Amino acid sequence: MNILLLALLAQQTVAPTVEPVGVPRGNTIGDYNVRQSFETGYRFANVDGNRGKYRSDVNFLNGVRVLGTSLTVNSRNGKGKYFDEIILNTQGLGNDPYQFASMRVEKNRRYRYELTWRLNDYFNPGLTIAFGQHFQNLERRMQDHQFTLFPGKKIQFFGGFSGNNQSGPALSTVNLFDTRGNIFPFFENVRRKQNEFRFGGQAQFAGMKLFWQRGWEFFKEDTRGFLDQPGTPLDPLVTNTTLANFRRDHPYHGSTPHWRVNLFTEAAKWFTVNARFTHSNGNRNFIFDEVANGAVRGGARNVQTLVFGDARRPVTAANLSFSILPTSRITISNHTAFHQTKMEGDSTIRQLTNGTLDSTVANFQFLGIRAVTNSTLLDVALKPWLSVQGGYQFSDRRIRSTELLNDAGFIDQARGEQSNRLNAGTAGFRLRPIKGLTIVADGEIGRQNRPFYTTSEKDYHAFGARAEYKQKYFRVAAQTRNSVNFNSVSLFRHSSRARNYTVDGSWTPSTRFAVDAGYQKLHLDTVTGIAYFLNFNQVDRDSSFFLSNVHAAHAGVRTVVAKKLDVYAGFSSNRDTAGSGVGFTTQPALLAAQVFPLTFVSPQVRLSYRINEKLRGNFGYQHYDYTEKILQLQNYRAHTGFLSVLWTF
Amino acid sequence: MTSRNRLLLPYNRPNRVFLLKRLIQFLLVCLLANAQSPKSSPPPPGYAGSIMCRGCHPDISAAFFRNAHFKSTTDEKLKFEQKGCESCHGPGKAHIEAKGDKTKIIAFSQMQPKKILDNCLQCHTQQMGRANIRRSSHTTADVVCTNCHSIHKSATPKQLLAKPQTDLCYGCHQNIRAQFSMPVKHRVNEGFMQCSDCHNPHGAEAPTWKMSARPRMMAQGLQNEEPCMKCHVDKRGPFVFEHAAVRVDGCASCHVAHGGMNARLLKRPQVFTLCLECHNGAGNFGRQGDGIQLTPPTHSLTDPKYQNCTVCHARIHGSNSHASFLR
């Protein structure tokens, strides 16, 4: 059975090993059954080409790893003294860029503790962004703990903690000392820390379930930017500015306390009700202190910028859902949502140039978003093999904005308010004409009267359909998803078309052989009217055009040789053939940004040899080939793999 | 200590024994509330008991102690019909007497999807994450519990999934599978994250950062926002100067969520086209309804530095110290 399941697995990164070892009976220790597996080995990577891009995309490097471990302990009678179940899984420990651990300890109906821990080593040179000067080599560590008292009972309590730390070196850029100056890269020591504490409970009474949670999120960023040596200007044509040294501190601290309350019932067989209310207060205090020493147009220039203030964002949301089931064949659902966000902040900016205070500017900003949405869905099972559904959704969103600036007594204020309404309809059906064949289709058509952005949805429709035919050892499916949006008004146009087509199948004629393959075509084209300046002359009637045609394919075959050797070979290929976009513009910069053809191919092979009932030897190899068609600056080829031993006991 | 202070002591500093007693009383009340009346009772008519199932289903029975549902078997406070096999499959006596006739028992492989949902929800409405399951896109497409969960042959001990979560989702969402195979992507295939970090497969509240029904089934973040902010906490704010697009239309204004060909999951290979598509002064868009601010005349598109907008507008997600996100 296992191989039947494995045949359908997505192509895995070449570790940890998925092949099972022996019969997973486990060992009996006292009243507990214990199963463990432990896979360790050496991972290797050899990169030819742009190593930075490889690390951005893949990032597996050389070294010894604990590729994967698993431990399950179950009480055989469900009456363990201190616990009934322990589940522990880890992946990639020992310096892999993607490390993961999860654990659950539970005593039936007494307590449950759950842990998730993750580490991501994020390396990104971002060569095509900001002249490649926004490099990041960061490490993100995330953890989540949740302890539940009396799980599964009528009254439960829980408490939890989540942490998210990000740290490491990065580069950023700054424009000095004025708009005619130059741009200089500088170093950043990124330090961000988020902690969330929460507790709450759940109670069942009179057929209702009440859930409540109180929590506090604390966030602080103490990133420091610096440049201890003369700066290297990015624009060689601008020679009027030099930078001797630079320092930036901008501590940014605050908290977001929140409430969540949820009331739910499914006690009656013919209706369900779900009501939810959430409120959170977000508050951040900050100080910004930046010092830049250098020269501009032949004169020494020392600029210190001091900014202080705070920002606030209270968010309130409420939802109410009714589902009515008058007969077993009909479901009517209505959902009303209210959402309100108020963002406001004050900042005072003081700038000293060559030791003299030359400006003090106070800012107040407000942005408020209020949205009300109501949707109704009707689902009818006309026959056991045919169901239809239809729905209607109405949304109203109002945005208010205030921008206030006080520059040494000169006050500038801008206010705005506008609202946007959406009317949308949905429809779909499900059909099972013969045994094993399922056809599902759904669509949505919507009209908004006043979208806020040029690329927002206005007159749009989306359609999707999927057909699947499944027999015991054979499965084939085809799917399409399309969405089209037009947001054109007088003297402006925007259109976007996305079309996805996929087909895939799998065949498992025996427990020793399985094959699966698929092909996906993802098409996107957008045309948006743009305006810009060319040498101080405004150009109004140009267009930004983007075209992407991704042909993606994957295939995998798995077989067992002589009952001992599992062999898996597979590949995935992504090719953006783009296409021709000539005709929408004559501006070279825009022409160069219309398409981005590239190929990303990754074949792999895995061998897993069963040495005995408890031991497997494994080898995996995966090749990556990234090839851009235009610039080829980021191209790379990488040979990665691992050699490992998997021990189950 | 003065007599006045002694009098105030119980109110100002309640002693620990007093608090402990109250806490124990509170927990006892909870335990009593959690207690259920029926203890062991004789089998109701039609029920045979889980022990009778072992004869024909030894493989399932032998490994069932590892199953999350096993706890119902040993819970003495549950009613007979709430225990073991028959709590899901219904009374089994007729099934046994008919020598395994599937029509004489609740066989999930033979049931209509909605019946399966009804059956599982008898117990599994405990978690609020399933409060919207009746109106979820999965339910309306007849994707119900047993399409993803395998109770007796699960591949994962947690959640009893029929296959690892990623493979389950890819089974239907093949276009998303292709996106996660692209060079720039969230690390789902690598095992660092899962689909359920951002999506709630059991149905979600209405999306609040966009107006239409899509994107669907999003597991919202702390401030009812897109799930992106669960991890990218530094982009959440609040900021004095918010990049309004992030809050109004969401991260998808500029980024693709799953995977793409462009750096930093951007929707365009060059940043400036992305910026110019909104900042073109056209129509009645934007905060004040008079068009989104055009780039200044000094920003000649022929100059490479003005084709790299974020080289100066480095704080593009929001800033506290500059209205144009320069610092």
pLDDT digits (tens, 9 = 90+) for B171-219: 999 999 999 999 999 999 998 999 999 999 999 887 666 777 677 888 8
With a CB-CB cutoff of 8 Å, which residues 249-278 of chain A face chain B?
250, 252, 254, 256, 258, 262, 264, 266, 272, 274, 276, 278
Is A448's Cβ below 8 Å from some Cβ in B? yes
Is A560's Cβ below 8 Å from some Cβ in B? no
Q: How far is CA B148 from CA A528, B52, B145, in A?
A: 41, 28, 6
Interface predicted TM-score (ipTM) of this complex, two decimals: 0.92
Alpha-carbon gap, residue A225 to B327, rounded angstroms:
11
Res A6: pLDDT: 41
With a CB-CB cutoff of 8 Å, which residues 179-218 of chain B face chain A?
179, 181-184, 187, 189-193, 205-206, 208, 210-214
Contacts of A273 (CB under 8 A, 6+ apart): A263, A264, A265, A320, A321, A322, A323
Are the CB atoms for A138 and A168 separated by under 8 Å? yes
Are the CB atoms for A594 and A584 separated by under 8 Å? yes
pLDDT at A276 over 80: yes
Closest approach of A491 to chain B, Cα-based (Å): 8
Q: How far is CA B327 from CA A175, A186, A250, A290, B275, in A?
A: 9, 13, 10, 9, 18
- Among B29, B78, B208, pick the best mutation site for testing chain A contact (most A Cβ within 10 A): B208
Dump pLDDT digits (tens) for A471-503: 989 999 999 999 999 998 777 889 999 999 999
Contact: B311, A130; criterion CB under 8 Å: yes
Are the CB atoms for A28 and A76 separated by under 8 Å? yes
Are the CB atoms for B309 and B266 separated by under 8 Å? no
Closest approach of B4 to chain A, Cα-based (Å): 37
With a CB-CB cutoff of 8 Å, which residues 481-520 of chain A face chain B?
481, 489-492, 494, 500, 502-504, 518, 520
Are the CB atoms for A616 and A643 separated by under 8 Å? no
Dump pLDDT digits (tens) for B100-120: 888 899 999 888 888 899 899
What is the percent of chain A where pLDDT is above 90?
75
Closest approach of A86 to chain B, Cα-based (Å): 10
* Chain pair A-B, CB pairs under 8 angstroms: 474
In this complex, the residue of A91, A256, A626 whose CB is nearest that of residue B191 is A91
DSSP class of residue B109 equals: G
Is B286's Cβ below 8 Å from some Cβ in A? yes
Amino acid at B210: K
Dump pLDDT digits (tens) for A355-366: 888 888 999 999
Alpha-carbon gap, residue B165 to B178, rounded angstroms:
16
| Closest CA in chain B for residue A420 | B211
- Chain centroid to Cα A629, Å, comes to 27
Contact: A10, B177; criterion CB under 8 Å: yes
Contact: B280, A530; criterion CB under 8 Å: yes
Residue A22: pLDDT band with limits 50, 70, 90: low
Res B4: pLDDT: 45
- Among A71, A87, A341, A412, pick the best mutation site for testing chain B contact (most B Cβ within 10 A): A341
In this complex, the residue of B174, B211, B312 whose CB is nearest that of residue A371 is B211
Closest CA to B119 of A450, A269, A623: A269
With a CB-CB cutoff of 8 Å, which residues 111-140 of chain B face chain A?
112, 114-115, 121, 125-126, 128, 131-132, 134-135, 140
Amino acid at A568: Y
Contact: B301, A574; criterion CB under 8 Å: no
Amino acid at A595: V
Contact: A438, B206; criterion CB under 8 Å: no
Residue B26: pLDDT band with limits 50, 70, 90: low
pLDDT at A8 over 50: no
